[in-house]
Amino acid sequence: MESIITPQPHRLVSSGSEHPVQSSTPALAGTSDGGSSPPSHHLSTPEEISSFVDQMDTFIFDCDGVLWLGNDTIKGAPEFLHELVAKGKRIIYVTNNSSKSRKTYVGKFKKLGFPAEPDNIFGSAYAAAYYLKNMLNFPADKKVYVVGMQGIVDELAEMGIQAVGAGDDNAPLQETEFENGTLGPDESIGAVLLGFDSQINYRKYAKAFTYLTANKGKVHFLATNEDRTYPISGSIYPGTGSLLAALIHSVNRRPDAVLGKPSQNMMNTILERFHLDPARTCMVGDRLDTDIAFGKLGKLHTLLVMTGVTSVEERDAKKGPVTAEYWIESVGHLRQR
């Protein structure tokens, strides 16, 4: 593995980087007081930006807060991504949103002007399907009980995995159903997979609970992600992690695997599927605790953008749990002008 350090005009690293090829490189930019969280380096000049981009083969982008905010595109982001494609760089979009399949997501990307194919998109629903198929060798004669939405069902179907639940169980529970065995065990269920579900109800919780407890140890317990909240259209609502908390509490057991950011499962799956060289890959995100932590987990380079949830105070916190290697105002600022 070659060093990727470009010594001028600034060395594009900060002290204490987790990246192995940089681990002995002292910081030249920013200040350091010897604390455990080195400061993030600001990509500020055209030369720095150009050098940074040249060092990478692959860019992994978080979506909301990085490429768009709700339905509003971040200024200059589509143009920068088209520049990357023109330079032969690989683009991967990573999202914890499990409500839509990759195929459905392509529509959103194209509508907002971003280059996209299903294979560029790595959603937590796809990650869960990939994990079931390739890591667990999920048996063809078993079914996955899905607490979640169509995106998960579609991704499982693409992998040839049978799913039940989801939309079929959207009807609220009737009182008599407690007593007539509707919610009883089902030997054909081999996994319970929970994702975001705006149609969550007691029927789904009771079924998932029954499958996980009736056939102890034999039913895999998976979740697409654990985001505590779900920001949408300028509001914040309970996220997948909150819906998951109810199921965890009732079965008194953590999921066997959580597939979304910042889990190691998702990173391993991405690295394996795309055969990436971490030393030439950069994770671009707006959240330190998920996106940037996720990039560091895979020993990738990390770039924080300030168009999402992270404040200047959090970015500059010397004692914060996670620091990005680089930061820039927005993805649009990366354009070569």
Binding residues for substrate, as ranges, are: 261
Beta carbons of 150 and 99 less than 8 angstroms apart = yes
126 contact partners, CB below 8 Å, separation of at least 6: 101, 102, 155
Residue 249 touching a copy of itself (CB under 8 A): yes
Residue 246 touching a copy of itself (CB under 8 A): yes
Residue 232 touching a copy of itself (CB under 8 A): yes
Q: Which residue of the set 33, 54, 62, 291 is catalytic? A: 62
Residue 250 touching a copy of itself (CB under 8 A): yes
Q: Which is nearer to a copy of itself, 5 or 178 (CB)?
A: 178
Q: Which residue of the set 64, 154, 197, 227 is catalytic? A: 64
Residue 229 touching a copy of itself (CB under 8 A): yes
* DSSP H or E run through 72: strand 72-73
φ and ψ at residue 90, rounded to 5 degrees: -95, 140
Of the candidate spans 49-57, 72-80, 241-249, 288-296, the one that interacts with a copy of itself by CB under 8 A turns out to be 241-249
**113: buried, middle or exposed (CB in 10 Å: 19+, 13-18, 0-12)?**
middle
CA distance 222 to 195: 9
Looking at residues 151 to 170 of the shown chain, list those that interact with a copy of itself (rule: CB under 8 A). 170
Characterize 247-284 residue by residue with b for buried, 16 or more Cβ atoms within 10 angstroms of its Cβ, and e for exposed: bbeebeeebebbbbbbbebbbebbbeebebebbbbbbb
Q: Single out the residue of 200, 282, 324, 331 in contact with a copy of itself (rule: CB under 8 A).
A: 200
Q: How far is the CB of 141 from a copy of itself (least distance, A)?
A: 26
Parallel, antiparallel, or unpaired for β 301-305 and 281-285? parallel
Beta carbons of 220 and 256 less than 8 angstroms apart = yes
49 contact partners, CB below 8 Å, separation of at least 6: 43, 328, 333, 334, 336
Q: Which is nearer to a copy of itself, 164 or 246 (CB)?
A: 246
Residue 231 touching a copy of itself (CB under 8 A): no
**Is 64 noted as a catalytic residue in this protein?**
yes
Residue 325 touching a copy of itself (CB under 8 A): no
Residue ranges at the known binding site: 62, 64, 261, 286
Residue ranges at the known binding site for Mg(2+): 62, 64, 286
Structure letter (DSSP) for residue 218: T
Q: Single out the residue of 184, 218, 254, 336 in contact with a copy of itself (rule: CB under 8 A).
A: 184
Residue 201 touching a copy of itself (CB under 8 A): yes
Q: What angle do CA 22, 81, 70 make, to 5 degrees?
A: 105
181 contact partners, CB below 8 Å, separation of at least 6: none
**Is 227 noted as a catalytic residue in this protein?**
no
Count interface residues toward a copy of itself (CB under 8 A): 38
Site string for a copy of itself, 288-307 (x = CB under 8 A): --------------------
**Interface residue list for a copy of itself (CB under 8 A):** 170, 172-173, 175, 178-179, 183-184, 197-202, 205-206, 209-210, 213, 228-229, 232-233, 235-239, 241-243, 245-250, 252
